[in-house]
Amino acid sequence: MTTVDWIIVLDVGVGLGVLLVGVGVFIAGIALARTLGRVDMTLAVLDGQIENLGKPIGETLDHVGGIADTADQTLARLGGVVGSLEGVAASVSDTADLIKGALAPAIVNVGATISGVSAGLRRIVTGRTSSDGS
């Protein structure tokens, strides 16, 4: 064989190699297409299941939101009640202070009166004063 024959063999060999690589890439592409097709079907089923769950979850979240709104309103009312109770407690405290201020001098006066009456009775009964010492 001559040099020209080897060049033809080399060209045919390289051509067959490139052809085989191309067929391999083609087969790999077909396998990848099948795999991606199955993934697409799986994702479609998953999307349908999520869509079926979406409505009940949305309704549940709406219900929870309604409960939260009711709780917020109740807490706002309780805040008003607590404010009213604080006002009542302050009024009761002021009233107690006023009563204490009014009764304390009267109690002191009653004590002084009882002391004076007992000293007077002692003088009448014994005939002497408490400062005599006898």
Q: What is the pLDDT of residue 123?
A: 84
Q: CA 73, CA 66: separation in Å to the nearest integer?
A: 11
Q: What is the pLDDT of residue 133?
A: 53
* Dist. CA 93–CA 101, nearest whole Å: 12
CA 26 to chain centre: 58
- In this predicted model, what pLDDT tens digit does every residue of 38-84 receive, in sequence order? 999 999 999 888 888 888 888 888 888 888 889 888 888 888 888 88
Structure tokens at 86: 């604080």
Helical (H) or strand (E) element with 106: helix 3-126
Per-chain mean pLDDT for the chain: 85
pTM over 0.85: no
Question: In this structure, are residues 98 and 109 in contact, taking their beta carbons and an 8 Å threshold?
Answer: no
| Mean pLDDT value across residues 126-131 | 66
CA dist 17 and 58 (Å) reads 59
Instruction: State what percent of residues in the chain have pLDDT above 90.
Output: 24
